A and B are shown apart, each in its own frame.
Chain A
């Protein structure tokens, strides 16, 4: 085991990256090797290794959960929740957050160089699943010397990974926190993602995915992000924020400029997204989410996924989230009850829709903190 304090160990700290030899056998049957994983760790791994906590990020997020993002200089995306004295207390926990497989923030993905050709994989990168992301994270934990997780925590796609962790490695997970998430993508979820993918693929610059070294399909990716962004907000939230107000003008232009504030806002969201995200990664990760159906992986019965697991579960939904509505969390809770797993669930009230899990929510922070403390 570890003899050096973790802050001196090169494996631990901010902006780390490791190349693991693999191969990683994927759900598709393909083998991926080597496997790059970009990650960050916070806090110190206890001598008995029992204070490790894995944070799983959402679709377009990254490993910089509590440390500053080296590219943008902005603070981490969940500093309300993660840090010294925060609900996920880095003075207490050894927190690990890794960029998911298929992404573009340093882990293996379509923009990575394929060792066989010396060129970016592009669409030759194998299609991956949520469980493949989890398997890659398990490889990272092996590398870090972490046998067991005190908890795995995630919102949205991160929650899917947390569920998949508990189902795939029940002996390695003591607790799972699943926020604003689902055990399966519905037809509507898949439909919205397909709109996004088709927007990317309809951009001539996409060029069958082969655009590295040239101009990326920014226009298509921006439209994909615009469509997706609507699903992250609530109608009431949009109405409150923008209503039908016009953007920097007194009257309608009788043209197709961004007359309305909401149009201008969405265009900005779409454009700024293309600066930080790879279009092919967007295709691969949305595909992984669409393929996610935890019951299907367990004989069609969700309760079967949690049979015999010693994991404690905490689920939270938001009343205005129509992307992964409360009913999705409830069906997970019912499966957990049927499996006899200890579970907590609450629907919190928020005007912000799906995005609520990332925003200021003292109630969410209190109950996640309480849930984690109870496990010690």
Chain B
């Protein structure tokens, strides 16, 4: 299976046999890869009923629900990893969703599109228009992305909330790029976070 590049990074770094909650799991590509490739006990949460039905038909345990409202029912530290891929920027309260991920999971993978990528900057600076790019294909009125953030915004937020970064990966054109100029060069980012750095 050809996983989306940010999902492939996550899949490579999940410990085999782990318990995983994939929040915003879509039709279950990552869950299926984790289950079949790494013997992971993967559970999913997904808003869209069609995606949920597709994932269920693949035999994946997926619950139709909303990251903003339906994470509260999961007990503390009940998963090794909570995963939120390309969903943070669509949440009504992304800061609370992030806190929930770190409550439910010992670690959290978070991936999001970087709104400070140079192509996005150019579009706004020279074109004077909201960017429509490969990773941000929607226009201003039909985009699900309601909380735009940059890699530097996210790093600042993690510092404020005393969240530890255990790993970070930056992608440009589906290739890895360095961390130093990531805020300018990376189209999207994957972070591995924890509140329990000693473990």
Interfacial residues, chain A to chain B (CB-CB below 8 A): 312, 314, 330, 333-334, 337-338, 340, 342-349, 363, 366-367, 369-371, 373-375
The distance in angstroms between the C-alpha atoms of A43 and B15, with both chains bound, is 41
Partner of A344, one of B41, B56, B75, B78: B56
Enumerate chain B residues within 8 angstroms of A349, measured Cβ to Cβ. Answer: 49
The one of A338, A367, A375 that contacts B74, using a Cβ cutoff of 8 Å: A338
* A337-B74, A340-B75 known; A363-B53 Cβ under 8 A: yes
The reply on B60 being an interface residue by CB < 8 A is yes
Within 8 A of A (CB), among B43-101: 43, 49, 52-53, 55-65, 73-75, 78
Q: Would B49 and A343 count as touching, CB distance under 8 A?
A: no
A373 with B59: CB separation less than 8 A: yes
A346 touching B56, Cβ below 8 Å? yes
Known A312-B61, A333-B63, A373-B59; contact A346-B53, beta-carbon cutoff 8 A: yes
- List, in ascending order, chain A residues with CB within 8 A of B60's CB: 344, 374
For residue B58, which residues in chain A have a CB less than 8 angstroms away from its CB? 370, 374
Residues of A within 8 A of B73 (CB): 333-334, 337-338
Query: Are B61 and A367 touching (Cβ within 8 A)?
Result: no
- Shortest A174–chain B CB gap in Å is 13
**Pairwise interchain contact B53-A366, C-beta atoms closer than 8 A:** yes
The interface residues of chain B lying within 8 Å CB-to-CB of A366 are 53, 57
- On whether the beta carbons of A346 and B61 are closer than 8 Å, the reply is no
- Max chain B Cβ within 10 angstroms of own Cβ: one of A337, A370, A371: A337
Which of A334, A344, A373 sits near B61, CB closer than 8 Å?
A: A344
Q: Is the CB of A370 within 8 A of B59?
A: yes
Instruction: Determine which of B59, B64, B78 lies in contact with A345 in the assembled complex, contact meaning CB atoms within 8 Å.
Output: B64
Asked whether B75 lies within 8 Å of A338 as measured between CB atoms, the reply is yes
Chain A residues with Cβ under 8 A from B56's Cβ? Answer: 314, 344, 346, 367, 370-371
- Cα distance A340–B74 when bound, in Å? 8
Q: Which of B43, B52, B64, B65 is most buried by chain A, counting CB atoms within 10 A of its CB?
A: B64
**Chain A-chain B contacts (Cβ-Cβ < 8 Å), number:** 64
CB contacts (< 8 Å) of B75 on chain A: these are 337-338, 340
Q: Are A342 and B61 in contact (CB under 8 A)?
A: yes
**What is the minimal beta-carbon distance from A370 to any residue of chain B, in angstroms?**
3
Q: Which of B41, B43, B53, B57 contacts A348 (CB 8 A)?
A: B53
Tell whether A340 pairs with B57 under 8 Å between CB atoms, given A345-B64, A347-B64. Answer: no
Separation of A304 and B53 alpha carbons in the complex (Å): 28
* A337 and B63 within 8 A (CB): yes
Closest residue of chain A to B56 (Cβ to Cβ) is A367
Using Cβ atoms and an 8 Å threshold, which residues of chain A touch B59? 370-371, 373-375
Is A346 touching B57 in the complex (CB atoms < 8 A)? no
Complex Cα distance, B57 from A349, in Å, reads 16
Residues in B whose Cβ lies below 8 Å from that of A337? 63, 73-75
| Pairs A-B, 8 closest by C-beta atoms | A374-B59, A370-B57, A334-B73, A367-B56, A346-B52, A342-B61, A345-B63, A366-B57
Q: Give, as a whole number of angstroms, the nearest-CB distance from B63 to chain A.
A: 5
Q: Which residues of B contact A344 (CB under 8 A)?
A: 52, 55-56, 60-63
Asked if B57 and A343 sit within 8 Å, CB to CB, the answer is no
Q: A340-B78, A375-B59 are in contact. List 19 more A-B contacts (CB 8 A).
A: A312-B61, A314-B56, A333-B63, A333-B73, A337-B73, A338-B73, A344-B55, A344-B60, A344-B61, A345-B52, A345-B63, A346-B49, A346-B52, A348-B49, A366-B53, A367-B53, A371-B56, A371-B59, A374-B60
B92 to chain A: closest CB distance in Å? 19
One digit per residue, 1 when the CB lies within 8 angstroms of any chain A CB and 0 when it does not, for chain B 29-53 equals 0000000000001010000010011
State the CA gap A343–B198 with chains docked (Å). 32
Residues of A within 8 A of B78 (CB): 340
Return the chain B residue nearest A374 by Cβ.
B59
A347–B65 CA distance with the chains assembled, in angstroms: 10
22 pairs from A and B in contact (CB 8 Å cutoff): A312-B61, A333-B73, A334-B73, A337-B75, A340-B75, A340-B78, A342-B61, A344-B55, A344-B61, A344-B63, A345-B63, A345-B65, A346-B52, A346-B64, A347-B49, A363-B53, A367-B56, A367-B57, A370-B57, A371-B59, A374-B60, A375-B59
Contact B57 A369 (CB under 8 A): yes
Question: CB-CB < 8 A to A367: which residues of B?
Answer: 53, 56-57
